[in-house]
Chains A and B, each alone.
Chain A
Amino acid sequence: MIARLSAGAFALCLLSVPAFAQGAKPTDPQIAHIAYTAGQLDIEAAKQALAKSKDKEVRSFAQDMVRDHTEVNKQALALVKKLNVKPEDNDTSRALTKQAAAKRAELAKLNGSAFDKAYVANEVAYHKTVNGALESTLIPSANNGELKSLLQTGLKLFQGHEQHAEHVAADLK
Chain B
Amino acid sequence: MTPGRIGIVAVAAYALSSVPARSATIQVVIDKLVFAPTEVTAKIGDTVEWVNKDALAHTATATNGDWNAVLAPRQTGRVVLKKAGAVDYFCKYHPNMKGRVVVTP
Contact = CB atoms under 8 A, between A and B. Distances in A.
Interface of A: 64, 67-68, 71-72, 74-75, 152-153, 156-157, 159-161, 163-164, 167
Contact of B32 (A71, A74, A153, A159): A153
Given A71-B55, A71-B73, A160-B91, A153 B33 contact: yes
Nearest to A164: B95
Contacts of B34: 156
Q: Is the interface of B mostly helix, strand, loop or mixed?
A: loop
Given A71-B55, A75-B55, A153-B33, A159 B96 contact: yes
A156 B95 contact: no
Indicate the size class of the contact surface on chain B.
10 to 19
B97 interface: yes
A144 B63 CA distance: 39
A47 B96 CA distance: 24
A71 B56 contact: yes
B56 A167 contact: no
B32 A160 contact: no
Contact of A161 (B32, B55, B73, B94): B94
B57 interface: yes
A134 to B, nearest CB: 14
Given A160-B33, A160-B91, A68 B56 contact: yes
